[in-house]
A and B are shown apart, each in its own frame.
Chain A
């Protein structure tokens, strides 16, 4: 076999390899009149698709592709590599604040999104509220008979309310606050968080905790009785009830925060993404999403558009002992708490 012939087959091999790789990239690049919306899946994203994406596509002709679940590592990788395939992403409030600081987000174009209509608690220069939720105490009534747990302290009382308890697995605002409230810390003295005290309190029930990583998982744990009591997103309990499952809810000291919508820096469809944000945060979009999901609207004009009986079940009607999770505190201490949180979980 001659030298050139051998060289040729090398080149052919390389070209073939390049072709395979190139074909993959080509598919990714061939998106024009569409945006990609990424959220957390399940009943929440179904409602976002129905109430925001469908009307948006009808009005603008821009298709909305659904992706998920939200993954902060992926988001960061996309921005760093300059190959951003997500245009609008639903994220936790503390991440939105931290990501804006790290330069991972496009500034919101308030010529397109109407800032004046939005609840000022849930708008920043780089993020607009997606919906506003409460962490509430949820329980399976079948497991406890006559007794109904009311306070966060009851979740830590394994004698009166035996069985596994379930909490949100990731290091985000919520569980540490719940532990402190259960330990008797007054709501107005929560921040800055006393981490030592919170972890000590959590240690008392650590062996009884089953963590939920996704909303769907929390629903499954509660409905099956696997973990008959715990901390839940109010909308997930609402969805369970809508599905015919008997669910107990206590709104005492419910903890509120908003999911935020962000546009990753370098989005190839920035303008379309901003238009989508305008639709998602519009009075109508927020009202119909709230009706379907059980989460509260972040647009102050939405409440008037909603059925009266439904409004009673929303977080914004349970403000008596409501506590706002402090996103500014969390954005500043996210890494430090996260390291300690995961180390504690693994021990």
Chain B
């Protein structure tokens, strides 16, 4: 608790010292800030301008976006995929993070290495690997058919199932790492305290442990959800055209239709949603907690 206090409330008696420290910190972040300005902020502003200036000044691109059932379907599908992936990632990632925190050093290091290694492997290679596994003539379907469990190949690719599997796998480390940090920081003696106060194991888990890990879950979920919202390669390769996500739509508008005004509007919608979710997160969990 003391950590959170320090992060959220400034000691009232030392304003000058902290502002001096902040100023010195500011100088150090200038290179990064300049880089981000040039390669991120300026292009985003340019795209925003295009969305209200092309083909003529006005809001017609936004009107077109929200008037089209297709684009709204793509937007809804983007949320559906990001939401599904986030939920599955929490369910799968939580036990792993927990195990990492309590397992003997050898096993915990080994599992950690596996998690990190998968993160370091090329994204495209991993996605193609899933294609090989999941397609109709792929390893999974052949095995199941060979065992006589199914007679027709299961549709595991070019649909929501394929996207969810592929993206969950890629997002898992982003859930496990912050959650693991949170769980490790929990003082084990709180369980003894809970037991001494008469709590059952189930109570200790749901009333003590889970609330203490809430900030880690929230941080991981935010990371996964926001990253999923803008994902491109995996949905493009493992999804079908009827499961299109917003990033794919933007690429299509930019590359194929050359309609950059509408693409800009779609990008602004995506950015606005992302920032809004981040703001909600900050409001409820605070910056220190959001960072895990």
Contacts and interface: CB of A to CB of B under 8 A. Distances in A.
B56 to A, nearest CB: 16
A329 interface: no
Interface in A10-28: 10, 12-14, 16-18, 20-21
B241 interface: yes
A21 B40 CA distance: 12
Interface residues on B, range: 35 or more
Contacts of A76: 258, 260
Given A21-B38, A226-B137, A6 B241 contact: no
A73 B267 CA distance: 15
B35 interface: yes
A13 B135 contact: no
B28 A73 contact: no
Given A224-B135, A226-B136, A346-B242, A10 B70 contact: no
A171 to B, nearest CB: 6
A18 B30 CA distance: 11
B125 to A, nearest CB: 15
A13 B70 contact: no
B33 interface: yes
Nearest to A335: B257
B255 to A, nearest CB: 4
Contacts of B70: 342-343, 346-347
A73 B258 contact: yes
A71 B255 contact: yes
Contacts of A21: 34-35, 38-39
B252 interface: yes
Nearest to B26: A10
A9 B24 CA distance: 9
B74 A72 contact: no
A346 B34 contact: no
Contact of B256 (A18, A164, A171): A171
Task: Tell me the interface secondary structure of chain A in the complex.
Answer: helix
A346 B73 contact: yes
Interface string A20-62: 1100000000000000000000000000000000000000000
Contacts of A210: 158, 240
A95 B257 CA distance: 10
A17 B31 contact: yes
A345 B256 contact: no
B257 A338 contact: yes
Interface string A172-203: 00000000000000000000000000000000
A169 B241 contact: yes
Residue among B20, B39, B256, B260 facing the most chain A CB atoms (10 A cut-off): B256
Contacts of B68: 343
B23 A6 contact: yes
Contacts of B259: 335
A17 B241 contact: no
Interface residues of A, number: 35
A346 B31 contact: no
A320 interface: no
Interface in A299-347: 335, 338-339, 342-343, 345-347
Contact of B252 (A16, A342, A347): A342
Given A21-B35, A225-B137, A226-B137, A10 B256 contact: no
Given A342-B257, A346-B73, A347-B73, A17 B30 contact: yes
A17 B24 contact: no
A72 B31 contact: no
B157 to A, nearest CB: 9
A263 B177 CA distance: 49
A1 interface: yes
Nearest to A20: B35
Nearest to A164: B136
B63 to A, nearest CB: 15
Interface string B259-277: 1100000000000000000
Given A9-B27, A14-B30, A346 B241 contact: yes
B154 interface: no
B99 to A, nearest CB: 37
A211 interface: yes
A347 B68 CA distance: 11
Given A21-B35, A335-B257, A346-B70, A10 B27 contact: yes
Contacts of B96: none
A347 B71 CA distance: 10
B27 A73 contact: no
B290 interface: no
A170 interface: yes
Given A10-B30, A20-B35, A343-B68, A72 B241 contact: no
B254 interface: yes
B82 interface: no
B257 A339 contact: yes
A17 B38 contact: yes
A338 B256 contact: yes
A17 B34 CA distance: 6
B244 interface: yes
A47 to B, nearest CB: 24
Nearest to A224: B137
B24 to A, nearest CB: 7
Closest 8 CB pairs of A and B: A13-B30, A17-B34, A73-B255, A345-B241, A9-B27, A73-B254, A343-B70, A16-B31
16 contacts: A6-B24, A13-B30, A13-B33, A17-B30, A72-B256, A72-B258, A73-B256, A171-B257, A213-B236, A224-B137, A226-B136, A342-B249, A342-B257, A346-B70, A346-B73, A346-B241
Given A6-B27, A13-B31, A14-B34, 19 more contacts: A6-B23, A9-B28, A13-B28, A14-B31, A17-B32, A17-B38, A20-B31, A21-B39, A170-B256, A210-B240, A224-B135, A342-B70, A342-B256, A342-B257, A343-B68, A345-B244, A346-B73, A346-B244, A347-B242
